[in-house]
């Protein structure tokens, strides 16, 4: 293990100590498959799951994240220069890692979702879902017939998930819809009800950016509450930032990225007060102490 990986693991340990699975009432959301997506299985069992965020095109760094104890990796392809070739190399370098790869694609296009699935993602995270058509498109392009219209072709999915992938993919691939603006909030219940949507994620900072409201403001919290009610009434899983771990009903969380965790880990190794680490108890408002 390199010094860089060791520092990462120390930082990840600080995060994971604050994000141990908490038992919540299990929600149907299609149930867990008998397959290989352990995130889907954990959610169906009422557990919380935490993602380590990845945006650096380095297989060694990716492996440090994927083997650190996170339930999944949130591979950031919307807000990073990562290419599909970069990510394909990263996933193959860590074949068999316990963290399940989820990719936030740039948009709900056939090309983006097809490539993400072909290189082995078992989670498709779709940004800016504020129409029913976009939610339906995400499912359609992520799933093989008869559910969707994903085509067969080349890819490393078989090397990662087995020769029976075509028969098992639909039961294992999950679709995550991000609610980032008031338009998405207004129809969050209908987005959640789209067949094939597994998780609806409240993108807290963008919701503030688009609404012009701050977290903690009653009007902002009303937007969040409306989204939560629509998602849970549709019996889908609810996601948000790690800072919201103690908010009722949430099971799926995005944790910090590699740079923050490296800073946290390095300072911990040096015996210096760590920065870049979440502190306990977890703040109700993301970014607050």
Residues with catalytic roles? 79
Q: Is 155 exposed, middle or buried (0-12, 13-18, 19+ CB in 10 A)?
A: middle
Q: How far is the first Cα of the chain from the last one, in angstroms, to the nearest whole number?
A: 33
Do 76 and 277 touch, CB atoms closer than 8 A?
no
Beta bridge partners of 126: 177
Please give the torsion angle defined by the CA atoms of residues 148, 233, 19 and 266, in that order, rounded to the nearest 10 degrees: 60
Give the integer Cα–Cα distance in Å for 59 and 37: 21
Give the integer Cα–Cα distance in Å for 66 and 62: 6
Number of helices and strands (H, E) in the chain?
A: 13, 8
Give the integer Cα–Cα distance in Å for 250 and 127: 19
241 three-class SS: strand
Give the integer Cα–Cα distance in Å for 90 and 80: 15
């Amino acid at each position: 293990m390199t010094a860089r990986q060791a520092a990462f693991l120390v930082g990840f340990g600080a995060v994971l100590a604050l994000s141990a699975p908490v038992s919540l009432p299990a929600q149907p959301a299609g149930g867990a498959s008998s397959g290989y997506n352990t995130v889907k299985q954990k959610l169906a069992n009422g557990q919380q799951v935490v993602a380590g965020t990845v945006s650096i095109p380095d297989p060694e760094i990716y492996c440090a994240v994927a083997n650190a104890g996170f339930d999944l990796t949130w591979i950031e392809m919307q807000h990073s220069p990562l290419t599909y070739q970069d990510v394909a190399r990263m996933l193959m370098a860590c074949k068999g890692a316990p963290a399940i790869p989820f990719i936030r694609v740039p948009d709900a296009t056939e090309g983006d979702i097809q490539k993400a699935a072909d290189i082995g993602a078992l989670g498709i995270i779709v940004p800016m879902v504020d129409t029913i058509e976009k939610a339906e498109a995400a499912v359609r392009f992520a799933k093989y017939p008869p559910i969707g219209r994903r085509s067969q072709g080349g890819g490393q999915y078989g090397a990662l998930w087995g020769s029976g992938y075509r028969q098992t993919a639909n039961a294992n691939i999950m679709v995550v819809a991000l609610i980032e603006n008031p338009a998405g909030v207004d129809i969050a219940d209908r987005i959640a009800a789209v067949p094939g949507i597994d998780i609806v994620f409240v993108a807290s900072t963008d919701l503030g950016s688009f609404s012009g409201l701050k977290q903690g403001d009653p009007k902002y919290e009303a937007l969040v509450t409306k989204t939560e009610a629509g998602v849970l009434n549709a019996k889908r899983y609810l996601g948000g930032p790690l800072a919201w771990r103690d908010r009722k009903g949430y099971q799926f969380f995005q944790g910090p990225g590699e740079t923050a965790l490296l800073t946290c880990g390095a300072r911990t190794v040096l015996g210096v007060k760590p920065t870049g680490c979440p502190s306990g108890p977890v703040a109700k408002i993301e970014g607050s102490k």
